[in-house]
Structure 1
Amino acid sequence: MLFWLSGLAVALLTGVAVSVYLWWVRRRKDEIAAGLHALSGLRWREFSRLVLTALERRGMAVVAAGPDETRDPRGIFPLTLRGQRWLLSCKHGSAYRIGAASVEELASSVRLGNAAGGILATEGQLEQEGRIAAQSHNIEVLDGPRLWDELAPLVEPDLRQQIVGHAAARAKRHIAIGWLGSVAVGALVATALANSGLGVEDPAAPATPVPAPASSAAPAANPVAVYREPTEAELEEQRMAVSRALSGTPGVVRGVWQTRLTLVVDYQGDETGIWSRICQQVELYPALRTVRVQLNPPAGSKEPVRWRQCKTI
C-alpha cells in the first residue's frame, strides 16, 4: 500500500509543477508571441501610431513633424518630456534582429538633435551588442515582452481577447496532457516500488535456462537519419541565409521576411523563371519549405501581387 501512496505523491507533485510552469510561464510566453505576431501584421504607420499613443500615456508629447518624416518608415519622431527633447525610432517587423548599427544611427540623431535620449521600438529582438550600445547612449529599448506590455492595452479589445483566450486555451490543453503524463509517471513509480519488494524467487520453480551467447554479433544496422526540428535560433539563421542567397539570385531585387512565416520577394522580369530559383533556395531548409512567399512585381508593372508556396503540407 505504501508504494501506491508514493506513486500518488509523485503524480501530484509532478502535475502541480507542470501546471504552474504552463500557466504562469508558458502561457505568458505564448501570449507575447501571438501579440507580437499580430503587431507585425500592422502597417508601419499603424504600428508607429500605437507606440506614440503608448508614450503619450507616459506623459510624453508628440512634436509635429514634417510630411516627409511621417511617410518615411525610417523617420524619427520628436517627443518632449518635462521640457526635454526625445527621439523615437520604430523598426517594424518581427524578423528584425537589431545590432549596434541601428542603435548608433539613433544615437547620432539624438546628438545632432540635442535630445536627452532616444527610444527604439521593434517587434524584433535586440542583440547583445545593441543592448550594450543602447545603455551607453541613454536609449530605451522596447522589444519583446516590454513592447507588448506597453501596447497590449491599446490593441483592439476583440483582438486582445482573442490573443489572451488562445494562449489560455493552449495552456489548459497542455496542462491536461501534463496531468496525464504525471499519472503515468506516478503509476510507473508505484509499479517499480512494488516489483522491488516482490522480487524473491520461488525455490521450487525450475531455473530458467539461460540462452547461450551467439557465436557472432549481428551486424549493426545502418544508421537512419532522423529529422530534427530546428530551434528558433537555427530557424532565424536559416531565414537570414535565404535572404542573403536571394540577394544574389538573378532577377530577384531582394527577399526579406515580413513575419516568421511570410517571405516577401521583389523581382524583375518573368515570374515563371524566377520562381524556380526562389524555391531552390527555400527548399534547402526543410522547416521553411511551406512558408508563404509574397511576390511583388516590378514597379509600374500591371501584374498583381501573388502569394505562393514552394511546398504544401
Structure 2
Amino acid sequence: MTSSTALCAGRVAVVTGAGRGLGRAHALAFAAEGAKVVVNDLGVGLDGSGTAAGPAQRVVEEIRAAGGEAVAHNADIATADGAASLVATALDSFGRLDTLVNNAGFLRDRMLVNLDEDDWDAVTRVHLRGHFLPLKHAAAYWRAEAKAGRAPGARVVNTGSGAGLLGSVGQGSYSAAKAGIIALTLVAAAEMGRYGVQVNAIAPAARTRMTEETFAETMAAPAEGEFDAMAPENVSPLVVWLGSAACAGVSGRVFEAEAGRITVMEGWRPGPTADKGARWSPAEAGAAASGLLAAAETPQPVYGAR
C-alpha cells in the first residue's frame, strides 16, 4: 500500500466526506503515503438526505486490503458532538491527529428566486459549519499540544470551489458557503500559525456525484487508455502534499487543482484607487468610480453566465 516516498509515514489524517468521490480519493492517497486514516462519511444522498455507514466502511476496507490502517467515522461533523467525536476517534484509534481534510458537502441547486431558505441553510450548514466545527475541535487539540511543548506540525486542507471564487449561476448557497470557506481558511491560518498549524484550501475540479450532472459534457469519462482529466485522483496528490510535513511554510494559500494543472489563486487586492482627501459628492464619486473601472482589470465571468 505504502509508496516509496511514504510522504505521510507516521501521520494520522482525518478526511471528511471520504466515502465517495474526492474524499475517497484523498483517503486512499494518504494511506498510500503511509498515513493512518479516519474515514468520515454520513453516507447521505446527493442532496444530503438519508444516511448509511457503507460508503465509509468500504473505503476503510480498501485501505486495509492494501495493507494500510484506517477506521470509519459515521457521525455528522456539522454538529458539535459529531466534530468532537471525529477528533476523539483519531486520538482513540491512533493516539494522535496530524492532518485534517475538510471535504464533506452536497448540493441543492436553485436559482435565487426559487431557492428555499431550508435548502440555503442545509447547504451552508454542511459546507461552512461542516468545515468550522472539525477545524475548531482539531485546533483546540493542537493548541493544547503546542502549549504542552509538543509542537504539532499540523496541517488543514479545506475544500473550496471555483464557485466560491467566481460565483456560479444557480448555485447561490453553494457559492456563498465556498466563499466563506476561503475566508475561514485565511483567518485560521493567521490564528493557528503560532501553534504549528498550517491551513490551506483547494478549489478542485473533478468528476464526482456533485459535478457530473452540472458539467456532464466536459466531465465525461475518456476513452480507454487516455488520460482521465476529470478523475478525482488527479486532485489528491496536492492535498496529500499540503497535508504532509513536506509543505512546511505554506499557509493561508488557495490552490486550484484540475487534471494535471495546479494554480495558485490570488485573491482580492487593491486595484486602481482615487483619493480626493475630502468627502465626494454623489456625482463626483460616480465620475471617480467610472474612471477607476476603466483602468481596472475585467473580472472573470461567473460560471454559467451568458
Output the TM-score relative to the length of structure 1: 0.26
Q: Which has the higher helix share?
A: 1
Q: Which has the larger radius of gyration?
A: 1
